[in-house]
Amino acid sequence: MRRLSFVLAVLVCAFSTTAAFAQAWRSPGGRISGVVVDGAGKPIKGAKVILVSLRAGGSGPTPLITDAKGKWSLVGVMGGTWNIDVEASGYQTKKGTLEAQEGAMAPPIKTVLEPVPPPVEAPPQQTELANTVPPEAVAAVRAAENFMKKADGQVVEGELTTSFAPEKLTDEQKKELYKQAVAEFEKAQALLPDNLQIKQALSQAYYKSGQLKESTALLTQVYNADQSNTGVLLLLINLLLENGQLDEGKALLDKVPAGTMTDPTALINLGILFMNKSRLADAYTYFDKAVTLDPKRGESYYYRGLSSLQQQKMAAAKADFLKVVELSPDSSEAKDAQDLLKQMK
């Protein structure tokens, strides 16, 4: 009987490749990144990261190799769903997907690789049955995974071709498939209520089906059960901020270990929430942290400039708006910044 951990291999990845024909996967501004570690959290140097853009017809870059800190990154990527395979000598390959946004940096992906298990003799039949999960849970997880794949336009296990291309599905059709995935994951969770992998997968299905409140509540359970999982922590912070839970998101943001955050998105989101509540000094603080974290991201300067402008700090605002135009001249933020600069003359 197939074990649940094997069935969930693609789901527990915080998220081969073909030659890129005319680099169809490229698009200005988009960036994806991640880190590869072992079960103890130690970086894995030299891991191979294989990325394939589904929207670009299965094309992708040359496989990336992680550095001494286990990190990898790719800039100038097309938005949409990407397949990601992570391989390293002595470890089991992890497969998964990630969502990229054009003109924006996606949250970094943390991939934990498990060592290849040594060969062992098969245990007696009664012991094997005692250690396996209910077959109904395995079937439910597999069905849920297939609904998620269909919604994302991927090939479903046992099918020769994709059921639908993602661009041919309406938003309502995708949401319906995600809701069916939710129903199947809920069946599995009822059978294995303490399984964190199922809870995290169900949280993702909730989010994609538009059930943000449920997704946030479930991911909170996952984090509370394992507060050492920084990847889950960063995802939870973004969910809390998207759900308007400013104080909760800020409290968790302060718990992020120094040096582990590489993407300023959560900082920018928190700053925007403060600005919407007219708490301009707090907003500036988080926009300033975003600039410090990634000084090459024009969006951070744009929002810091807005907070300065609203506080009548004209020189600081002007300097930030000029920096936006310098770093990302083709972005919507740069166009707005240019309009504001004209009005400030």
Q: What is the CATH number of domain 4-113?
A: 2.60.40.1120
pLDDT band at 121 (very low <50, low <70, confident <90, very high): very low
Ranges 151-160, 199-208, 217-226, 262-271: which has the least confidence = 151-160
Considering the entire predicted model, what is its pTM? 0.50
Higher-confidence position of 159 and 26: 26
pLDDT band at 4 (very low <50, low <70, confident <90, very high): very low
Structure tokens at 128: 């094997």
Does position 185 have pLDDT exceeding 60, yes or no?
A: yes
Higher-confidence position of 265 and 118: 265
Higher-confidence position of 56 and 285: 285
Residue 289 DSSP symbol:
H
On whether the CB atoms of residues 98 and 62 are closer than 8 A, the answer is no
Structure tokens at 75: 């800039």
Q: What is the distance between the alpha carbons of residues 159 and 156, in angstroms, rounded to a whole number?
A: 5
Does position 197 have pLDDT exceeding 70, yes or no?
A: yes
Q: What is the distance between the alpha carbons of residues 199 and 113, in angstroms, rounded to a whole number?
A: 20
Classified by CATH at the fold level, domain 131-250 comes out as 1.25.40
The predicted structure's pLDDT at residue 16: 31
The distance from CA 165 to its chain's CA centroid, rounded to whole angstroms, is 22
Q: What is the distance between the alpha carbons of residues 271 and 316, in angstroms, rounded to a whole number?
A: 17
Could you tell me the residue ranges of all domains in the chain? Answer: 4-113, 131-250, 264-344
Higher-confidence position of 161 and 287: 287
What length is written for the chain?
345
Q: What is the distance between the alpha carbons of residues 303 and 288, in angstroms, rounded to a whole number?
A: 9
Neighbours of 255 (CB within 10 A): 11
Q: What is the distance between the alpha carbons of residues 166 and 59, in angstroms, rounded to a whole number?
A: 16
On whether the CB atoms of residues 226 and 258 are closer than 8 A, the answer is no
- Residues 123-150 have pLDDT tens digits of 444 333 334 678 898 898 888 888 888 8
The predicted structure's pLDDT at residue 23: 55
The reply to whether domains 4-113 and 131-250 share a CATH topology is: no
The predicted structure's pLDDT at residue 214: 92
Q: What is the distance between the alpha carbons of residues 293 and 311, in angstroms, rounded to a whole number?
A: 23
Short-list 247, 158, 157, 141, CA closest to 204: 141
Does position 246 have pLDDT exceeding 70, yes or no?
A: yes
- 54 phi, psi to nearest 5 deg: -70, -40
Residue-averaged pLDDT of the chain:
79
- 72 phi, psi to nearest 5 deg: -145, 155
Q: What is the CATH number of domain 264-344?
A: 1.25.40.10
- Residues 302-315 have pLDDT tens digits of 999 999 999 999 99
pLDDT band at 156 (very low <50, low <70, confident <90, very high): low
Higher-confidence position of 2 and 284: 284
